[in-house]
Amino acid sequence: MPHRPRKIDESTAAQGQAVDALSEVLLQTRLAYAGALLQVHRDIVRCPDGHVTYREFVRHPGAVMVIPMLDEEQVILERQFRYPLGRALIEFPAGKLNAGEALIDCAQRELLEETGYRARSWNHLGGFHNAIGYSDERIDVFLARSLEQDTTRRDPGEVLEVFSVRWRELDAWTRDGRITDVKTMIGIYWLERILSGRWAVPPAT
């Protein structure tokens, strides 16, 4: 159900935005839709040139993605049906943050729930914004190593196919279209640079 718009005091809204000449000033904000996962906002802003316009965007709680290394040569991937596309996609394990949940706790939970593995070694590789044109979503990436198999605890309705593959094959999978999920493509890119020695591995989490 749409929510009533809320006007913003312009002097308050402008504070702190003058540092960047490209900043837009929020004049009015309205929650257009609130779902179980996402919130859609429709705001009115003033652009740097004085033009007043709308900005529609999705607020997201944030998510994590895990790159699980089974050994020095193989990683764990999964196939999962994605309803908006109407087909199964190949991905690294990932999931959204629960309210108040720490990033590492979310990563460990998602790895266990989706693959049935725990990891003794964790490295936080950083994060990225995957939909900057219409959402504030940020996905943080973890490298998980020294895996141990455990009992899979999946959420109801979450049906996955879990498998392993040599990480050196994944570049070809992105070129030929077997992998089109952008977060997984970024994970492959980062992993290749770490394993080739071009990027240093961040300290253990």
Strands 63-68 vs 94-96: parallel, antiparallel or unpaired: antiparallel
H helical segments located in the chain: 10-14, 103-115, 170-175, 182-195
Flag whether pLDDT at 146 surpasses 60.
yes
State phi, psi for 136 to the nearest 5 degrees: -95, 15
pLDDT of residue 20: 86
If phi > 0 it is left, if psi is from -120 to 50 it is alpha, else beta; for residue 102 that is beta
Nearest to 191 by CA among 62, 64, 63, 72: 72
pLDDT of residue 158: 74
Q: Which two three-digit tokens encode residue 119?
A: 């990891």
Percent of the chain with pLDDT over 90: 83
- Rounded CA-CA distance 96/81 in Å is 17
Distance, C-alpha 67 to centroid of its chain: 13
Which residues share a beta bridge with 129? 138
Flag whether pLDDT at 4 surpasses 90.
no
Window from 10-24, 54-68, 98-112 with minimum mean pLDDT? 10-24
- Rounded CA-CA distance 114/93 in Å is 7
Summarised one tens digit per residue, pLDDT across range 97-125 is 999 999 999 999 999 999 999 999 999 99
Domains in the chain with CATH codes = 6-59 (no CATH), 63-195 (3.90.79.10)
pLDDT band at 16, cuts 50/70/90? very low
Distance, C-alpha 131 to centroid of its chain: 9
The mean per-residue pLDDT over the stretch 151-161 comes to 73
Summarised one tens digit per residue, pLDDT across range 70-106 is 999 999 999 999 999 999 999 999 999 999 999 999 9
